[in-house]
Structure formats: structure tokens, C-alpha cells
Structure 1
């Protein structure tokens, strides 16, 4: 059994809305670990992710901190660097589809606006993370990944970006103030800009143009 912390606590990005992401690597089912508190993986699955060069594997390899080892070995470091990440186009297209689904829902109904804005944040953050990893630059797994792409950063201002982040925290942790109708409208009017940004990034990936980032 090996236990790791990962995420914002390991990057030093902790604030009042942060949680602590924990990973447990175990042999088979282990009732001691509640999936609501831990990401629980078998050794076989971790090795599969490493071989695939999966973004989560790179995240763990670069940013996790070991908390406990039953054999005094840092297992994640012992298996070496993950394989080359090769699914950037597919993954970015997948997260754009999540974005488009949330955008369609927002355009058709006001009943789930905050949830849909939360989904937009999830899609945008993961889209940017996958791009940063695929482009061969320093991969960015932070909540601000979409703002850290130099000239290809998401073309919305920080206050507006924070509205999407607030929606995400509200939906996942139940923390923070409910977004006002005016704040929701402010976020909604940027959706076409976000889509154009995603389309541009996808074109960059498909054409292999990374030098200017």
C-alpha cells in the first residue's frame, strides 16, 4: 500500500476553497479507503496509466508527495517517467464537447446555469492542461492552467474567469456565495470567445505549431 497527496496542496496553491487530494494505491479492494476521500487505484491500473502517458500519470509523477509507504519505497518514482502523452487531440476534443454540451444547456434553460458554468470551468481547465502537456512545454495541472498559456491563454479577464471557478467550487464543495444573475450573465457572454479559443488551440495541436507558446 502506498499513499500520496497531490494537487493544490503539493503546489502550494492552498486557499479557503482548496481540498486535499489523496491517492491510495492498493492490491485489490481495501475497505479502509472511502472513494469519496481518496482516489483509489490498483498497482496494475497505475502501471497502465504510466504506460499510456496519461495526464493523471504525469500529474502524479511531477507533483505528488508520498505520505506513506509500506515498503519504504516511493512507488511512483520507482516506476520512472510516464510514457509519452499521445492523445492530446482526442482529449482536447473531448473536453471541448463537454464545454459545448454545457453551453447548449445554458442557452436552452436557466434552471442549471451554475452547474453548467461549473462544467465550463472543468472543461476549460482540463482542455488547457492537456494542451500544455501535449505541446511539450511545462505541463500545468493548476486551476489556472487556461491562464498560463502565454499568448494562447484564454481570452477572458481574471474577474470573469473567477466566476466560472466560483461556480465549480459551489457545485463540488458547496462553498462560496451564489452567483448573482448579473454575474451569470457576465460569464455567459464570454462563451463564444471561449469556444473560438478552443478551436484555435485545436488547430495549433493538429498543425504542430507550438513554438510561440
Structure 2
């Protein structure tokens, strides 16, 4: 028996952006009253319009206070929600009451955090090839999160799309192909959905991608650092 109270529910992700395709899940944010727990998943799923009923729902549960905190802190997910949600249930205009999120200030820190995870992948697959498909999927996760963070500085607006890594400006194009990126993405989806991963998920594939990505990510990090230092200099000069 659920004890929670649903405050609001929204679609976000590719469906919220109007970019859904055959690979898309239905990402749903369920906002519940603090300290009361979740509501029944069915109570959220039944809010989904028929046009999206064929998509696999993936519900993210948040207390109202945590969502408000993300907006106050300027966290990247708050900007995602602010820009790209479709309301399913929102009787009190919950997100609207939070206003515009504070500026996102953790771009460089988040890029470095996901780079640290990425750097651990080559030793893992060299130690054991058994988990090559899982590690290939992790390449996708890290690279996509790096790109979404960097888009704050390197795009006209934050880019949460699947291929944001190919839309960054101010540095050379990402050195892996769309096909290689898609293979990593399919590895991730295979591990999440219990499907057969692509045959390309090999140790040599992962090491080859990493060898090209690492120097490019050095360039990306240096560019973000210059932008951050320039902003600090300008603030100190005022």
C-alpha cells in the first residue's frame, strides 16, 4: 500500500524534446510530498496519454524539496526539467513556482568527474573481456554526460539531446564517428533491457575509441578551464 502523495508528474528526455524514436523510453519525473514515500507506479503510468502508451516507462522519483534544491543550486538536471518537460499532472504548477534555475556552475567539475569514470574503463576491459559490452555502454554514459555538461559553455543553449557530443563548438569535432557512438549506445541499452549487445562490443573497439577520445577530452577540459578562468578574472576586475 502506497503512502505517498503525488504533487506533479512530467515527461522529460527525448519525448519531452519532441525527438523520440524507436530507441526511446518514456522518461517520467514523479514529484511526491516529502517524507511520505512513493505512490503506486500505476497511478503515474495511467496519466500517460495514449500516444505514448507503447513506450517503456522509466519513472524517476523525487521529493518536492529535492527538486526545489536542484533549482536553487543550478544543477544541470534542473535546467533539463525547466526547458524540456511535458506536463502529465501539475495541478499547482509546481515547476513554474520554482522559477528559472540558478546558473549552472559545475560544468568543469562534472566533466572531470565523468572523465575519471571513463579513465577506469580501459584497465577494466584489459583485465577481463567478459564485461566489454557493459564497459562500452559506460563509454556512452560518460561521453553523453560530459557533452551535456559542456554544452552549457559551448552551445547557445544547454543541449540534452542524444547526440550533443557532436554539437559542441569551439573545438575540433568529436573524434569518434556517429556509428561508433551508436554502437556504444546500443551496448548500454542492451545491458539495461537484457538484449544481445552489438558484435562490435570488443576490447579493441573500446580501447580504440578511448585512445582517440582522451586527447580530445584534454582539449575540451582546457577550453572549459580557460572560459572559467576568464570569467573569474572579469569578476575580479569589477
How many residues matched? Answer: 206
For 1:56-95, what aligned pairs fall within 5 Å after superposition?
56-69=77-90, 72-95=91-114
- The 1:16/1:183 distance shift into structure 2, 3 A limit, reads farther
1:54 aligns with 2:60: no
Contact 2:25 2:58 in 1 (8 A): no
Pair 1:18 & 2:24 matched: yes
Q: Which residue is equivalent to 2:121? A: 102
Q: Gaps spanning 5+ residues in structure 2: where?
A: 1-6, 45-56, 229-238
Q: Does 1:139 align with 2:139?
A: no
1:204 to 223, 228, 234: 223
Runs (4+) of structure 1 moved beyond 4 Å?
181-184
Q: TM-score, normalised by structure 1?
A: 0.88
Structure 1 residues 117-132: aligned runs within 5 Å: 117-132=136-151
Shift of 1:13: 2.0
Deviations 1:86-143 (A, max 9, x none): 1111110000011111222123221110000111100000001001124463111111
Is residue 12–residue 29 contact of structure 2 (8 Å, CA) maintained in 1?
yes
Q: Deviations over 1:125-162 (max 9, x none)?
A: 00010011244631111111111114544211121111
Structure 1 gap ranges (5+): none
Whichever of the two has the greater Rg, that structure is: 2
Moved more, 151-160 or 44-53: 151-160
Give the aligned CA root-mean-square deviation in angstroms: 2.2
| Secondary structure in structure 1 of the residue aligned to 2:130 | coil
Q: 1:136 to 1:157 in 2, by over 3 A?
A: closer
Q: Name the residue aligned to 1:2.
A: 8
Give TM-score, length-normalised by structure 2: 0.79
